[in-house]
Every structure is written in C-alpha cells, then in structure tokens.
Amino acid sequence: MDRTMKYTIVDYDQLQSETIDWLRFPLVILVLFIHTVQPPEMFASDSAVFNIYYAVSKIFAAIAVPCFFVISGYYFFYTKTNPVSFTKQEYIKKLKKRIHSVLVPYIVWNFFGFALLVVSQYLFPYDLFSGKYKDIADYNLTDYIDVFTGLTTHYPIVNQLWYLRDLMLLVLISPVIYFLMTRYKHFFVAVLFLVYMLPLNVNITKSLFFFSAGGYFALNGINIIKEIRKLSVYPIIVYCAIFIFLLGYKDLLVSQYISKLGIIFGIISILYIASSYVEKFSVKANRKLVSISFFIYLWHGLFTHTFHSLILKLYPESGLYYLFTYFFSVFITVVISFAGYYILTNKYFPKKLKDLLIGGR
C-alpha cells in the first residue's frame, strides 16, 4: 500500500473513493467464503466447526454482495454536477459503459461455464459435481435459457454471476428508479426496505433495495462515508449483537428477519471501520488489486466449490481437516487468480480477448 496520502483536513470525497476501492478486495474474499462447502452432516449445527463456517460464510460474508450493490448504485447515479442531474445523455453513456463492463463478461463467463460443464460430463464421472447439474443430454429449451438467465433456477450456470445479471437489469430500469427516487425520495427507499424485509426467496428485492439505497445517496449529493461517520460506533455495537444472536439462534423463524437487518448494520460497520483505517494510516488503494478483485469474482465459481468438495473427500470426518480445506480452498483460488490475471495482462495476451473476459479492467 502507498501511504503517502495524508488527510489533514478530511476530504470526504477522496476518503470515500479510497475506502471503496480498498474494500473491493476484502469483499470479494468474503464472496469466496460464501461458495465453499458446508461442513458434512456429522458436524452438528452447534459444533465448533459448523459455527466457524456459519459465522464467516453465512453471517459475516452475507454483507459482501449487498455492499457491492450499494457501491454500484451510488456510482451509477453519481454525477459531478451540482445539483446532481441524471440526464438522458448521462444514462446512455453509463448504459454503454455497463454493457461493456458488465453484460459482456456476464455472457462470456456463462458461456465458458456451460462449455466446461459439457466437456466435464463427457470426459469425467458425472459425480465430479456431485449431481449438482442436470445431464446436458436431457436439456430442454428452458434449461438453455436458464444457463444465461437463471429464470427458473434463480441463478445462471455460473452461479455467482447473478449479481451481474441483477445489476444489468437494474441499470436497464434505472430511469424508472430515478423517477421514483426523485419524486418520492426517502419514501420510495422505505417501501423498498419493507419489500426487502419480506421472506421472499428471490434476490431481486435485495438487489433493488441496496442498489437504490446507493443511488439515493448519490442523487441527493450525500457522501456515504461522511454520513456513516456521524453515527460513530453505535452501528458496530448493534451489528455485533446481531452477529452473536444469529450464531446462537440459527433456526429461529425471526432470525431470517434479524439477518436482513444485520446485513444493513454490517455494511455500515465495515464502511466505518474501513474508512477509519484508510484515514488513520493514509492508505491508498492498490489499483491492480481492485482490477484483480473483479477477475476473482468472475471465475471463482468455476473452481472454488468443486475444488473444496474434492479435497474434502480425503478426510471428511476430521473437523480440523475441514477447517484447513475451508481456508485453503479460498487461498488457492486467490493464488490462481493472481497468476491468471498476470497472464491476462501480459503484453503478449490479446487485448481484445482480455477486454471481453474482464470488461476492459
């Protein structure tokens, strides 16, 4: 990290930019933990092994993708004009940019994931994926549509890319969001919050709420970090209480609602802590690490879960071995990602192909 940047009088715009860029890598690491394998059934839900998995993958890591939606919503609606004006020209400009940086990688990696599945089913035993995917020979039209949309399955073939799918959909309907946001302001966000809190088994309500929440800050010219710092450490205290509750009462019906509140307080907490760290130590985010984070996100679903499943089969009854594989599968994914990104950005690698794979980053 470059520590030459000093915040004598706090420049909150600069601090917010550096905080968000610095956070991208830790957040994508949390996404990796979401896609590890749950402990075998022999480990009870109150065992130490299961609690470690649950605390990291189910509670703490749950803030990662919603936080990315807040960031995406903020930057999509953000303009440098004062007052903020989201014009038709601005929308078209940002739509074209998102097609290149979001839609193209989404299509390319889902196509690659499908091709990999086809090859693996012909060359390797079907249980390589533990029966996770339907046999290609039995695919119908709906199955092929689901490969790229997840229309009936909720997730495309490369599961974690649902975030890009929802993000692109939100970008397309952003003029409607803009109209409702500017007309009804915080009332619109409040309604989205209530819908988000409903026990619906769809991601779009979560995506829409957090994307719009980020957009609300941008459209009203509010610096997210500056507002969060006004709250002091109180949201962190609330989040810790929610964290402990969720860890101790996993199966209560009310926990599904508490967990949704926990995500909100978790995002506030992590932004507060990260911005304090960035400010105190004058941290400047590593731009290459920011780009690598997106590459890790794009490809890890093709590897992390399957790799963890395979190495876990060696000693499935050992709790210590499970914990080793749990962290090692994330570590090896990051190592391979760095190597892969180095290849992609090598001067001998075709630039057009690199742009297709990582959206011009």
DSSP-derived secondary structure for 119-173: HHHHHS-GGGGTT-S--GGG--HHHHHHHHH-TTTSS-SSGGGHHHHHHHHHHHT
Angle between helices 174-184 and 64-77 (to 10 degrees): 80
8 Å CB contact between 129 and 302: no
Instruction: Look at 30-34, 301-305, 330-334 and tell me which has the smallest mean pLDDT.
Output: 301-305
- As a whole number of angstroms, the distance between CA 129 and CA 309 comes to 8
Q: What pLDDT is attached to residue 1? A: 44
- As a whole number of angstroms, the distance between CA 67 and CA 31 comes to 11
Q: Which band of pLDDT confidence, cut at 50, 70 and 90, is reported for residue 8?
A: very low
Q: What pLDDT is attached to residue 24? A: 96
Check pLDDT > 90 for residue 86: no
Phi, psi of 44 (to 5 degrees): -65, 160
If you search the block for the tokens 């959206």, which residue do you land on? 359
Query: Across-strand partners of 2?
Result: 284
Single pTM value for the model: 0.92
Q: What pLDDT is attached to residue 338? A: 96
- As a whole number of angstroms, the distance between CA 140 and CA 152 comes to 13
Check pLDDT > 60 for residue 107: yes
8 Å CB contact between 40 and 316: yes
Taking the CB of residue 41, how many other CB atoms lie within 10 A of it?
Answer: 8
If you search the block for the tokens 């299509």, which residue do you land on? 107
For the stretch 255-275, pLDDT in tens is 999 999 999 999 999 999 999
Residue 281 corresponds to which tokens in the numbers above?
């130590």
Q: What pLDDT is attached to residue 216? A: 95
Mean pLDDT along residues 180-194? 94
Higher pLDDT, 196 or 314: 196
Q: What pLDDT is attached to residue 2? A: 45
Give the end-to-end CA distance of the chain in Å, rounded to a whole number: 20
Mean pLDDT along residues 190-198? 97
Residue 132 corresponds to which tokens in the numbers above?
């996770």
- As a whole number of angstroms, the distance between CA 292 and CA 36 comes to 20
SS3 12: helix
Angle between helices 104-123 and 141-149 (to 10 degrees): 130
Check pLDDT > 70 for residue 217: yes
Check pLDDT > 80 for residue 345: yes
If you search the block for the tokens 């989205």, which residue do you land on? 192
Q: What pLDDT is attached to residue 3? A: 46
Q: Which band of pLDDT confidence, cut at 50, 70 and 90, is reported for residue 83?
A: low
Mean pLDDT along residues 309-324? 90
- As a whole number of angstroms, the distance between CA 176 and CA 347 comes to 42
Check pLDDT > 90 for residue 178: yes
Q: Which band of pLDDT confidence, cut at 50, 70 and 90, is reported for residue 9?
A: low
Percent of the chain with pLDDT over 90: 71
**Please, what is the average pLDDT of the chain?**
90
8 Å CB contact between 21 and 287: yes
Please confirm whether the linkage preceding 83 is cis (ω < 30° from 0).
yes
For the stretch 109-144, pLDDT in tens is 999 999 988 888 777 655 555 456 777 878 889 999
Check pLDDT > 50 for residue 214: yes
Could you tell me which of 95, 55, 69 has the C-alpha nearest to residue 162? Answer: 69
8 Å CB contact between 249 and 255: yes
What is the DSSP-derived secondary structure letter of residue 315? S
The widest CA-to-CA distance across the chain, in whole angstroms, is 64
